[in-house]
Structure 1
Amino acid sequence: MTQQDIHSVNHVGLVARDLAAAADRYQRMGFVLTPFSAHAGAWKPGAAVSPLGSGNRCVMFEQNYLEILGSEHAAAPSPRLEQYLRHHQGGHIICFGSEDLSSVDRRLKACGMGSSGVIPLQRDVETPEGVRTARFERVQFSPDDSPEGYIQAARHLTPEFIYQPRYARHPNGCTELSDTVLIVDDVARFRERYEHFTGLEPTVEAGEVTYRFPLCSRLTLLGRDRALERLPGTLHPPVPGIAAVGFRCPDLRTQADLLRSAGVPFLEAGGRLIVPAEEAAGVAVIFEA
């Protein structure tokens, strides 16, 4: 057996047309968001790091997070984000967590899948001691192998700048980005692909494929029919696509009261609260016990 080189869904990236409006909606759902942080990065190994024209605000937890992306300057929108938005507003990025990206790169190539190699990324973040540069390494999986979104794995080189306790405590009590839900057009094909992506063997039950990661979080694949059962009352993305994110919530009754008082529409289904995608910048938000 080989060592497991991917340990989590580190974050999901949601691309919003109006970052301020999206941030306001997530704050009304009871989340604390980080201040805006601009991105800089390179697109191939050895290339210089340069500004990317985009940035984010994040819903942080102790070990993973939701990233809400927008252009840094409205007058000069990020071409990359504009390309995403021409397709749809919503989930476009899944980033797996890893401490051994060279292993991920080798494993993907051994499976006959494309990879960028290990490339740098960074962004400046506010800390109690002032602005610091958070640095990462990442491996981008080939876009030809992932029509559902931009799939990558990343390693945090300066995790203390990202995982700041002051941003990980939320009024709604949520403790984890617990699930990432994709709707796919060929469950068997995507099951095999995500086995290669993650190095994990999934569980399969009632047409639902689930990958559970050793550190935290899971990833769920749903066919179209199963998605209508599991994600009722919400718009679905173009298929294949990232349809929903789940959050671990300790008290669903209190959360339901919070959503009602904030005027955020939701429904109850299968013991979960679901905020429709059209109310959450393009992804359904699931609160689960």
Structure 2
Amino acid sequence: MLHKIEGLDHTLVGVADLEQARVQYERLGFTITPRGSHIGWGTANYCIMFDEDYIELLGIVAPSKESNGLDAQLEDRGEGMLGLAFASSDPEETVRSMKLAGLEPTGPHDLKRKLELPEGDVIPEFKLIRFPTQGLSKRGLFICHHLTPEMIREPEWLEHANGSQYIQSVVVLVEDPASLIPHYTQLCGSLNVTTTDATITVSVGRLNLIFVKEQDLDLLFPGLFISDELPELPHILSMSIAVESLSDTADYLKKKDVAVQDISSGRALRIQPKDACGVLLEFVEA
């Protein structure tokens, strides 16, 4: 892809109670990593690791310290998806290439966090690239490069009782999907941006980032009903996880008494936002 962007790095879910979120996602069948904390900030996380991407559950553990806007986000919009990060294989080249394309990146910025392992803390290191984006909140999309990837993926962290393999899609509600075509073509290349009358889809590695109007949601989610009122747009609504066997996933969730909606004659399993920290979560077969 353009700008040394290789695919999805991770998605971020803002949660009101980090320990409760860990329990909630463990009940859904995910293996949770040891806790991490952001050095100098009041935020911490638990991660759900896959081979190439992961989900970050992000919460505030020290309210008196800087939360990078998470406190305001939770106050204004409640729990749910905060954004996502694309992966770069060469952050310096990514910045250079994006500048030439007029995308106005800043960085790469250095970031470290503490990972609390049983045998002692380790310090994973990253480089982040930020840039003005469209169709998402101000910090809803950035680019990440891992300097110490071996620290964040232990083999046992990659095995999930629900059979999850990777993040297949993220759906964002926007007012005008068509207006986003020039920006994402510039960022990801024309071959990776496809359109229909109702949506635009940006393909980034195995991820499909889908932008859609709220009134067209039924095209993507037949029979969708959400009890809670949706926040103002743009709003990251959902995340679909590819699993090894949808029937095995269904059996696991049934054993855990998780409320599940079976969609389109067994083509997907849907979890309501109230049961997944504000995320409309779907499991689909890989």
CA distance in structure 2 between the partners assigned to 1:145 and 1:114 by the alignment: 16
CA distance in structure 2 between the partners assigned to 1:157 and 1:80 by the alignment: 25
Q: Which residue of 1 aligns with 2:277?
A: 281
TM-score (norm 1): 0.86
Q: Which residue of 2 aligns with 1:48?
A: none
Residue 21 of structure 1 deviates from its aligned partner by 1.7
Residue 16 of structure 1 deviates from its aligned partner by 0.4
Q: Which residue of 2 aligns with 1:260?
A: 254
CA gap of 1:237–1:6, structure 2 versus 1, over 3 A, is: farther
CA gap of 1:229–1:276, structure 2 versus 1, over 3 A, is: farther
Are 2:176 and 1:189 equivalent residues in the alignment?
no
Kindly report which structure 2 residues correspond to 1:119-268, keeping only aligned pairs within 5 A, or say none: 119-127=109-117, 130-142=120-132, 146-147=136-137, 149-199=139-189, 201-205=192-196, 207-214=198-205, 216-231=206-221, 232-234=224-226, 235=228, 236-268=230-262
How much is the aligned-residue C-alpha RMSD, in angstroms? 2.4
Aligned residues of 1:7 and 1:98 also touching (Cα < 8 A): yes
Residue 100 of structure 1 deviates from its aligned partner by 1.9
Tell me the percent identity.
26
CA gap of 1:56–1:147, structure 2 versus 1, over 3 A, is: same
Structure 1 residues 22-67: Cα deviation after superposition (integer angstroms, max 9, x where no partner): 2111111110111210013xxxxxxxxxx12111101100111000
CA gap of 1:75–1:166, structure 2 versus 1, over 3 A, is: same
Q: Tell me the amino acid that sits aligned with residue 34 of structure 2.
A: P
Structure 1 residues 173-212: Cα deviation after superposition (integer angstroms, max 9, x where no partner): 1111221221111101123322233345312245232222
CA distance in structure 2 between the partners assigned to 1:183 and 1:149 by the alignment: 16
Instruction: Report the number of matched residues.
Output: 277
Aligned residues of 2:5 and 2:87 also touching (Cα < 8 A): yes
CA distance in structure 2 between the partners assigned to 1:268 and 1:220 by the alignment: 22
Aligned residues of 1:191 and 1:221 also touching (Cα < 8 A): no
Task: Point out where structure 2 has 5 or more consecutive residues left out of the alignment.
Answer: none
Aligned residues of 2:41 and 2:65 also touching (Cα < 8 A): no
Structure 1 residues 131-162: Cα deviation after superposition (integer angstroms, max 9, x where no partner): 22100001012368843752110101000001
TM-score (norm 2): 0.87
CA distance in structure 2 between the partners assigned to 1:190 and 1:278 by the alignment: 30
CA gap of 1:76–1:173, structure 2 versus 1, over 3 A, is: same
Helix, strand or coil at the partner of 1:242:
strand
Helix, strand or coil at the partner of 1:7:
strand
CA distance in structure 2 between the partners assigned to 1:229 and 1:266 by the alignment: 20
Aligned residues of 2:43 and 2:58 also touching (Cα < 8 A): yes
Q: Tell me the amino acid that sits aligned with residue 60 of structure 2.
A: S
